[in-house]
């Protein structure tokens, strides 16, 4: 087992194919890139906003550009990477939709993880306390949370459909446990997945020479029709 405390790192490590070109958006101090470089011999590049993070990456010998995922993704030429990784920060972006489409302009595939606001703890927290939910995955009070664009699994799947993205794989992440492959379109998963990690690609373009890293099989998205009112769900 790879020594890392972050369950999403283990999953990303599994998804990325060896020798790939990887852009890690919001790479922090470069732990993931270093791991990917060591274990998968990737050709890595980081984008990080904090000077301390950038300095730490440089000291690790990583290539890193100081910048803001919201503003500076235009640094990178179209299709210059095999993977663009955005781990647990999409919900902190000012324009998540734009960022998501930028990731898939720059790279053939994007690895994106998002906390699920549809998780039962979140729903229960709001329902019981009547206050903004504070959970394991979303621990900050409303006035100081960096998470300004939260979504549920269902919302995220809708956005992928709108951007014409294919979900190549999806896994539910729970702290301290191994990842569980899921079909994110299943309502039950929207209740029970705390965080979901997606492997996405463009649907419209053929990926020349890319071998799909399809671990769980492509997830068939239901056609975009307004959902009929469902029978009442039991309480979670």
Binding site residues, other proteins, CB under 8 A: 45, 51, 54-67, 72, 74-77, 80
Closest to other proteins by CB, 77 or 226: 77
Nearest approach, Cβ of residue 30 and other proteins (Å): 11
**Best CA proximity match to 8, nearest among 26, 19, 18, 21:** 26
| Token pair in block for residue 82 | 């095999």
Nearest approach, Cβ of residue 163 and other proteins (Å): 24
Nearest approach, Cβ of residue 55 and other proteins (Å): 5
Nearest approach, Cβ of residue 102 and other proteins (Å): 14
Closest to other proteins by CB, 75 or 136: 75
Closest to other proteins by CB, 77 or 176: 77
CB-based contacts of 19-23 (< 8 A; 24+ apart in sequence)? 19/43, 20/81, 20/82, 20/83, 21/45, 21/80, 21/81, 21/82, 21/83, 22/81, 22/82, 22/83, 22/84, 22/85, 23/47, 23/76, 23/80, 23/81, 23/83, 23/84, 23/85, 23/106, 23/107
Closest to other proteins by CB, 59 or 236: 59
CB distance 68 to 49 below 8 Å: yes
Nearest approach, Cβ of residue 66 and other proteins (Å): 5
Closest to other proteins by CB, 36 or 137: 36
CB distance 83 to 46 below 8 Å: no
């Amino acid at each position: 087992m790879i020594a890392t405390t972050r369950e999403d790192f283990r999953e990303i490590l599994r998804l990325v194919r060896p020798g790939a070109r990887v852009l890690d958006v919001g790479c922090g101090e470069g732990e993931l890139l270093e791991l990917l470089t060591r274990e998968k011999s990737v050709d890595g590049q980081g984008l990080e906003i904090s000077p301390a993070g950038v300095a730490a990456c440089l000291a690790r010998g990583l290539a890193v550009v100081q910048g803001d995922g919201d503003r500076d993704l235009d640094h990178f030429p179209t299709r210059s990477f095999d993977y663009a990784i955005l781990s647990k920060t999409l919900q902190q972006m000012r324009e998540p939709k734009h960022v998501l489409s930028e990731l898939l302009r720059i790279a053939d595939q994007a690895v994106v993880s998002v906390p699920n606001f549809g998780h039962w703890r979140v729903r229960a927290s709001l329902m019981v306390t009547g206050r903004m939910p504070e959970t394991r995955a979303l621990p900050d009070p409303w006035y100081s949370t960096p998470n300004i664009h939260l979504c549920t699994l269902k919302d995220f799947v809708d956005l992928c459909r709108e951007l014409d993205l294919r979900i190549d794989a999806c896994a539910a992440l729970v702290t301290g446990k191994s990842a569980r492959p899921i079909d994110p379109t299943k309502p039950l998963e929207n209740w029970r997945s705390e965080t979901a990690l997606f492997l996405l690609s463009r649907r419209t373009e053929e990926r020349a020479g890319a071998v799909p890293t399809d671990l769980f099989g492509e997830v068939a998205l239901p056609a975009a029709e307004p959902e009929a009112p469902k029978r009442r769900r039991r309480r979670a």
